[in-house]
């Protein structure tokens, strides 16, 4: 079994950390996992993305032209990345601030109000984990328990941030359990 994910956004919005958490959480389930980051200018507001490959067989290359799943943490990256998901694949799209709609009709798009949900939780910086929760809830490529265990490791000693990230992740998961079209 193999699952490829591209997470894209802009620096400071959490695309890279989302990919790292996914890779670490998936290590319990998959024999091979890669995380390959790409930061254009390594600064806030610049495009940033990563590719995560989860596989039970050796991974020849972490480079993926088209993934089964695309998570767009920032909708400004829609035009740049919509061609990077396979036909029949899934796109988890942040809709807060969205100007451009996905033009592709051969993929399943789940529009997620991650920033709005995160604002209600008290911090818009956890919007990425709302999308992550929707992704895990919909695809079930890893367990929610594995993600929460990894969040506890990553944010140990930072109780407020840990709590916000777990709440955001759970809110995203709830979106897929209550979504008729998912």
What pLDDT shows up at residue 98? 66
Please write the tens of the pLDDT for every residue from 118-166.
999 999 999 999 999 999 999 999 999 999 999 999 999 999 999 999 9
Between 114-121 and 159-177, two packed helices, what is the crossing angle to 10 degrees? 130
- Cβ–Cβ under 8 Å, residues 5 and 23: no
**Structure-token pair, residue 18:** 């989302």
The torsion angle over the Cα atoms of residues 61, 66, 71 and 76, rounded to 10 degrees, is 120
Pairing of strands 47-55, 32-39: antiparallel
Structural domains in the chain, sorted by start: 2-177 (3.40.920.10)
CA dist 182 and 77 (Å) reads 23
- Cβ–Cβ under 8 Å, residues 33 and 1: no
- Residue range 21-34: average pLDDT? 96
Please write the tens of the pLDDT for every residue from 64-119.
999 999 999 998 889 989 999 999 999 999 998 767 778 889 999 999 999 999 99
pLDDT exceeds 70 at position 179: no
CA dist 72 and 64 (Å) reads 16
Residues 6+ away with beta carbon under 8 Å from 178 = none
Place of tokens 């996992």: 33
- Residue 91 C-alpha from the chain's centroid: 10
Closest CA to 69 of 56, 50, 45: 50
What pLDDT shows up at residue 26? 97
Residues 6+ away with beta carbon under 8 Å from 61 = none
99 three-state secondary structure: coil
pLDDT exceeds 90 at position 40: no
């Amino acid at each position: 079994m193999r699952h490829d994910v591209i997470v894209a956004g802009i620096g400071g919005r959490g695309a890279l950390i989302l990919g790292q958490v996914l890779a670490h959480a998936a290590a319990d389930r998959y024999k091979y996992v890669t995380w390959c980051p790409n930061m254009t200018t390594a600064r806030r507001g610049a495009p940033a993305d990563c590719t995560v490959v989860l596989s039970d067989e050796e991974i020849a290359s972490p480079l993926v032209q088209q993934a089964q799943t695309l998570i767009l943490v920032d909708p400004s990256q829609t035009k740049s990345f919509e061609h990077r998901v396979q036909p029949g694949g899934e796109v988890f799209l942040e809709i807060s601030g969205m100007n451009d709609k996905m033009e592709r009709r051969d993929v399943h798009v789940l529009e997620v109000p991650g920033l709005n949900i995160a604002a209600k939780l008290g911090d818009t910086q956890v919007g990425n984990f709302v999308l992550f929760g929707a992704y895990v809830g919909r695809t079930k490529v890893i367990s929610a328990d594995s993600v929460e265990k990894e969040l506890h490791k990553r944010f140990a000693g930072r109780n407020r941030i840990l709590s916000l990230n777990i709440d955001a992740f759970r809110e995203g998961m709830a979106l897929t359990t209550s979504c008729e079209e998912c």
